[in-house]
Structure 1
């Protein structure tokens, strides 16, 4: 499964309790860029580049999948150079809580 296909599983793994009142766009710069929009307790994922992303994550496909599954620690990935971030760093720290990793595995 490609990272882009994996990202399209995010809406089904959305943690409703964690996203109440959240409105954001998360850009994933991977081999096939995609972005997730969270608004009104709903997550949508689209291929391409968002013009108004709140945070941009740039990383290798396999690292992104490991990160979202909970197998790769975000801080370790950032400190180790596997993850580059632009934009709202506080939002970046909260992303893992927005999705139930067990539903992505």
Structure 2
């Protein structure tokens, strides 16, 4: 299993359905040094897919190291965005909820 895949598997395990209540969203992750992944949230469930989604709500571009640091709490997502380590397109406010939907 790739490092990126392991990070997304861990995120699925931490999915907080209460935080995602009523949410319908697709988070597209375009990783600079790995395959692309997307997480689809609908009806209180989260599913992982590989590759490009047809209609993502928000697209986040970064390298695997940045993803790992943000999802482990080592790096604040907003700080990473301000430093240019994360590029975002689409519903950027939704991206700020990632650590609430997938808490540590």
Q: Which residue of 2 aligns with 1:87?
A: 90
More helix by share: 1
C-alpha RMSD of the superposition? 1.1
1:1-105 to 2 correspondence within 5 Å?
2-30=3-31, 31-101=34-104
Write the distance in 2 (CA, Å) between the matches of 1:15 and 1:69: 16
Write the distance in 2 (CA, Å) between the matches of 1:82 and 1:11: 23
Q: Which runs of 4+ in 1 moved over 4 A?
A: none
TM-score, normalised via structure 2 length: 0.91
1:53-87 Cα shifts (integer Å, max 9, x gaps): 00000001011011111111011101111000000
Structure 2 gap ranges (5+): none
Query: 1:96: Cα distance to partner?
Result: 1.1
Write the distance in 2 (CA, Å) between the matches of 1:84 and 1:65: 15
Query: 1:10: Cα distance to partner?
Result: 2.1
Structure 1 gap ranges (5+): none
What is the number of equivalent residue pairs in this alignment? 101
